[in-house]
Amino acid sequence: MDTEDNAAAAPSISFSVNDIPGKNRRGAIRDYLSEMMHVEVEPADLDIPFQYSADLRFLPDVSFGHAFSSAVVTHRTRQLLKDAQDDLMLVMPEARMTILMPNRDDLVIEPGGAALVSQAREMRLVHHETAASWAVRMPHRNMARMLVGLSAAPVLALPQGTPMLEVLRRFRRVLDGDPLRHVAERELTSRQLQEIIAGTIRHSAGYVGEAEENGLLAVRLRTVKADIDDNLGNIHLNLEWIAARQKVSSRYVRKLFEREGTSFSDHLRKTRLARVYSMLIDPRNSGRTINSIAHECGFPEASSMNRAFREEYGMTPSDVRGRN
């Protein structure tokens, strides 16, 4: 059994561009953040020497730590969304940070505040000046169990003065000085940290309003998706057609999907491709041509389905059929 003196501290990683030759720094930090955070990164000002260092610690279900960087933009791109990551990050910047998202108003986070962002949503985080920040990453499923009505891809501003935010800040300082040497201690700390974060979000004005609205919107979105599923084979199925059937505006349907971090067209494409995939691996369809399956799933041409299928699954429909 490990003693207090010889037990290992919680796993951690430290990274600094100062340890990398100057000409390789930008590529190194890009690779690091792509691997660790699943984002692309670029300096916000190419005329300023690029700085970045980070110290991350890992607990069950949670990672957290400090970073220090010059002005930088991190981008969770549409391409990166294909990794299906939906983890949540709570970021506490020590300088102004702006969150930019398609079809949504910008969110400005001032020092003393925090933001909850989702890996399931396309966005840019703009850190406007050289400064430190602290962040926690945790699974969406854990927060969703504690926060009824939390959307699939939430983005919330938690301004200074949000109840429990100062408690989280103080707990952060406790963690900075605690090596967390034992497994049971790490598991307890992970639960406590997530519970404090959930409490902070629960008392934020943004979450209260979102949770109330999400209950109704989730029901509406569910009916829209069911209508799409029932009509996948209709080659005329589009945003306007569904909106007319639901007796709402196209803009309303578009907003339903945007709140989930996706779009109507992306959902329709993925749903049709998933139907194609399931039909290809079903032995009952072994005698059918790929063309006929494509048409049944709403693709007017097999060639367009093939391109989309390869992009989504990294293989062709024929490859999938050949494996089964």
- Please name the residues in contact with 112: beta carbons below 8 A apart, sequence gap of 6 or more: 159, 160
Nearest to 142, CA basis, from 180, 103, 196? 196
Nearest to 195, CA basis, from 155, 176, 167? 167
CATH class of 219-322: mainly alpha
Nearest to 12, CA basis, from 52, 48, 42, 55? 55
The Cα–Cα gap between 151 and 156 comes to 11
| pLDDT greater than 70 at residue 71 | yes
CATH class of 12-203: mainly beta
- Minimum mean pLDDT range among 152-161, 173-182, 200-209, 225-234: 200-209
139 token code pair: 């699974």
Mean pLDDT of 4-11: 71
Position with higher pLDDT, 22 vs 220: 220
The Cα–Cα gap between 69 and 190 comes to 26
Question: Cβ distance 297 to 282 under 8 Å?
Answer: no
Angstrom CA distances, 304 to 88, 237, 287, 317, stand at 34, 16, 22, 12
- Please name the residues in contact with 81: beta carbons below 8 A apart, sequence gap of 6 or more: 120, 121, 122, 261
Mean pLDDT of 144-167: 89
Reported as a pLDDT band with limits 50, 70 and 90, residue 212 is low
Question: Cβ distance 263 to 254 under 8 Å?
Answer: yes
Beta strands in the chain (DSSP E): 12-16, 40-43, 52-59, 62-69, 72-76, 88-93, 97-100, 107-109, 114-118, 123-127, 131-138, 156-158
Task: Report pLDDT for 49.
Answer: 81
Question: Cβ distance 122 to 102 under 8 Å?
Answer: yes
Task: Report pLDDT for 301.
Answer: 85
This model's pTM is above 0.85: no
Domain boundaries, the chain: 12-203, 219-322
Please count the helices (runs of H) and the strands (runs of E) in the chain: 11, 12
The Cα–Cα gap between 203 and 158 comes to 9
Please calculate the CA angle 214-220-222 and round it to the nearest 5 degrees.
95
